[in-house]
């Protein structure tokens, strides 16, 4: 076979690695590292799959049990990008398997390419699911199910002494099993998705919506409590179908309102500050949220890191402990919507 083009625009037809990996790269599904790496859907050839549809692998922390997978690859000559990817692979593979995290398999080289594969979450991210089916936001019970599963994965990350850094609705994925999994480090990517150009790009939400201490002082202030802030931001994304804001100041106006009233607005069209009518262009249905849900979001969005709960404390909030729905219920709702 011919190798891919040097501009990395044409994927290799087949990736080979010893006898256990034989992948046919199909088409791009997203990008990572600010667009410098494309993520492709790939399919395994029949000889690498047993009668149960499982990869024939041994001693892998993350056995991939799907015929379809996702693959990242980068030319080894691209020093800066490959360095970042290798660092992220090391972080990902430092964690044992967890059902709420998307792990990666051992990377391999093919010709001049460094390749990483991980499970394909075929139903997409929560951001893409909302765009297609819930443009005004998910029902509260759905949000609680998604966040509870996400927090279980985040708790595992924190217990192992790591920080996620990039929690948002675009990095939480669903598959048909069903499972809700949080992408982490090397498995993080942003799906191709249209967005009105006048708003701050959702792909960089972890920068413009970062915790106050991180936004003001930089990444050296990133910690477990900055992850909790992004859980609150993610809750707002899921509640309103996205955060279509023009800049950080626009976001700050929304957050000041929430922090002052200790409530989430039912309809942004009725909430003005300084004459600015926020979110008019995309929120058409009034939302109603329980006190328990609003309290959880407000706590996550406390401006002082020490005022925010840690993951385990958050999972003990009533909104999660009293939730009687699960991912199977959520998946059935999506099928019937």
Cis peptide before 312 (omega within 30 of 0): no
Q: How far is C-alpha 25 from the chain's CA centre?
A: 23
Q: Whole-angstrom Cα distance, residue 215 to residue 118?
A: 31
- Tokens read off for 137: 């936001």
Do 157 and 263 lie in one domain? The reply is yes
**Number of neighbouring beta carbons within 10 Å of residue 248:** 14
Query: Of 119, 140, 168, at which residue does a domain stop?
Result: 119
Residue 196 has a pLDDT of: 60
Do 145 and 327 contact (CB within 8 A), yes or no? yes
Q: What is the pLDDT of residue 123?
A: 96
Residue 54: what pLDDT?
43
Q: Is residue 83 domain-shared with residue 151, that is, in the same domain?
A: no
**Contact between 199 and 248 (Cβ < 8 Å):** no
Based on the domain organization, do 160 and 105 belong to the same domain? no
DSSP secondary structure code for residue 55 in this structure = B
Alpha-carbon torsion, ordered 310, 93, 150, 179, to 10 deg: -160
Whether residues 89 and 151 share a domain: the answer is no
* Same domain membership, residue 282 and residue 245: yes
pLDDT of residue 3: 42
CA gap 301, 237 in Å, rounded: 13
Per the structure, the complete domain to which residue 175 belongs is given by: 126-336
Task: Look up the CATH number of the domain holding residue 59.
Answer: 3.30.200.20
**Within this chain, do residues 312 and 208 fall inside the same structural domain, yes or no?**
yes
Q: What is the CATH number of the domain that holds 215?
A: 1.10.510.10
Q: What pLDDT score was predicted for residue 60? A: 52
Contacts of 113 (CB under 8 A, 6+ apart): 3, 4, 12, 15, 73, 74, 75, 76
pLDDT along the chain (337 residues), means of 10: 45 46 83 91 63 41 66 90 95 96 90 90 96 93 98 98 97 96 97 71 88 89 95 96 88 93 74 43 68 98 97 98 96 89
């Amino acid at each position: 076979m011919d190798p891919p083009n040097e501009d990395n625009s044409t994927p290799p037809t087949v990736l080979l690695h010893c006898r256990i990996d034989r992948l046919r790269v199909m088409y791009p599904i997203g990008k990572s590292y600010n667009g410098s790496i494309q993520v492709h859907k790939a399919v395994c050839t029949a000889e690498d799959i047993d009668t149960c549809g499982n990869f024939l692998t041994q001693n892998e922390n993350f056995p991939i049990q799907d015929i379809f997978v996702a693959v990242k690859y980068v030319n080894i000559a691209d020093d800066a990008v490959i360095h970042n990817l290798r660092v992220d692979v090391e972080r990902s593979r430092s964690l044992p398997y967890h059902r709420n995290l998307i792990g990666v398999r051992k990377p391999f080289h093919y010709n001049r390419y460094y390749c990483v594969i991980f499970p394909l979450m075929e139903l997409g991210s929560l951001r893409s699911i909302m765009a297609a089916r819930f443009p005004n936001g998910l029902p509260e019970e759905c949000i609680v199910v998604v966040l509870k599963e996400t927090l279980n994965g985040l708790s595992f990350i924190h217990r192992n002494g790591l920080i996620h850094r990039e929690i948002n609705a675009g990095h939480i994925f669903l598959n048909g099993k069903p499972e809700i999994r949080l992408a982490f480090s090397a498995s993080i990517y942003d799906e191709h998705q249209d967005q009105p150009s006048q708003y701050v790009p959702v792909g960089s939400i972890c920068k413009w919506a970062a915790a106050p201490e991180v936004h003001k002082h930089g990444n050296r202030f990133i910690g477990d409590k900055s992850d909790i802030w992004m859980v609150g931001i993610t809750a707002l994304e899921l509640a309103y179908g996205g955060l279509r804001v023009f800049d950080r100041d626009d976001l700050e106006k929304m957050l000041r309102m929430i922090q002052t009233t200790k409530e989430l607005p039912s309809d942004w069209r009725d909430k003005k500050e300084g004459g600015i009518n926020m979110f008019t262009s995309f929120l058409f249905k009034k939302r109603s949220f329980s006190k328990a849900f609003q309290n959880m979001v407000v706590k996550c969005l406390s401006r002082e890191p020490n005022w925010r709960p840690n993951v385990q404390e958050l999972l003990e909030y009533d909104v999660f402990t009293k939730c009687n729905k699960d991912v199977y219920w959520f998946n059935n709702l999506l099928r019937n919507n």
